Structure 1
Amino acid sequence: MAAAAAFLLADGGIGSGGPRALTSDEANRLAIARFRNYEAHGRAVTITVPGTAGGLTVTGSVDYRGKLGYGVVHGTGRDTSGDGLIEWTATSVFVHPMVKAPAHAPASPPRSAWYRRPLLSAGSALDSSLTIALGLGSDRPDNAELLPQNGAAWWGQDQVDGRRVDVMTGPSSPGRSGTAGNVRYWIGPDGTMYRVRVSVGSQPQPVVIDFDTRKYVPVAPVPGVTPGR
Structure 2
Amino acid sequence: MRGISPARSRRFVLAAVLVGMLSLTGCSTGLSDDGEPLTVEQADTLAQVRFRLAAQGDGVVRVSTGASDAVDHVSAELTVDFDDGIAWGDLKRGPDGIAVTEHVAFSARTYLVEGGAGWQESSPPSPMLTVLFALGADRPENAQLLRQSDARYLGSAEDEGEMLQVFRAPSADGERTDGARASTRLWVDDRRALRRMDAGDDVALVIRPSDVEPAARIPEVDRMLGASDE
Provide the TM-score with structure 1 as the length reference. 0.76
Q: Distance in 2 between matches of 1:9 and 1:87?
A: 31
Residue in structure 2 matched with residue 102 of structure 1 by the alignment: none
Which of residues 86, 93, 98 in structure 2 aligns to 1:75? 93
What is the CA RMSD across the aligned residues, in angstroms?
A: 3.0
Q: Deviations over 1:101-144 (max 9, x none)?
A: xxxxxxxxxxx61112477xxxx6x122x211111111111111
How far 1:155 sits from its partner (Å)? 0.5
1:3-152 matches, cutoff 5 A: 3=14, 4-6=17-19, 8-15=24-31, 19-50=35-66, 53-77=71-95, 80=99, 83-97=101-115, 113-117=118-122, 126-128=126-128, 130-152=129-151
How far 1:16 sits from its partner (Å)? 5.8
Q: Distance in 2 between matches of 1:28 and 1:90?
A: 29
Distance 1:19 1:205, change over 3 A: same
SS in 2 for 1:190: coil
How far 1:161 sits from its partner (Å)? 3.8
Correspondence 1:227 to 2:222: no
Q: Distance in 1 between matches of 2:54 and 2:200?
A: 24
- Give 1:89's aligned amino acid: S
1:188-227 matches, cutoff 5 A: 188-198=189-199, 205-212=203-210, 214-221=212-219, 222=221, 223-227=223-227
SS in 2 for 1:30: helix
SS in 1 for 2:18: coil
How many residues align structurally? 205
Distance 1:17 1:177, change over 3 A: closer
Identity %: 21
Distance 1:94 1:208, change over 3 A: same
Q: Deviations over 1:43-100 (max 9, x none)?
A: 211100116533010112212122211111112428656x3111111221111248xx
How far 1:151 sits from its partner (Å)? 0.3
Larger helix fraction of residues: 2
SS in 2 for 1:20: coil
Distance 1:12 1:219, change over 3 A: farther
How far 1:15 sits from its partner (Å)? 4.8
Q: Distance in 1 between matches of 2:185 and 2:52?
A: 17
SS in 1 for 2:62: strand
Distance 1:29 1:199, change over 3 A: closer
How far 1:31 sits from its partner (Å)? 1.1
Contact 1:133-1:209 within 8 A present in 2 as well: yes
Q: Distance in 2 between matches of 1:194 and 1:159?
A: 11
Give the unaligned 5+ runs of structure 2.
1-11
Q: Deviations over 1:15-59 (max 9, x none)?
A: 569611111111111111111111011221110011653301011
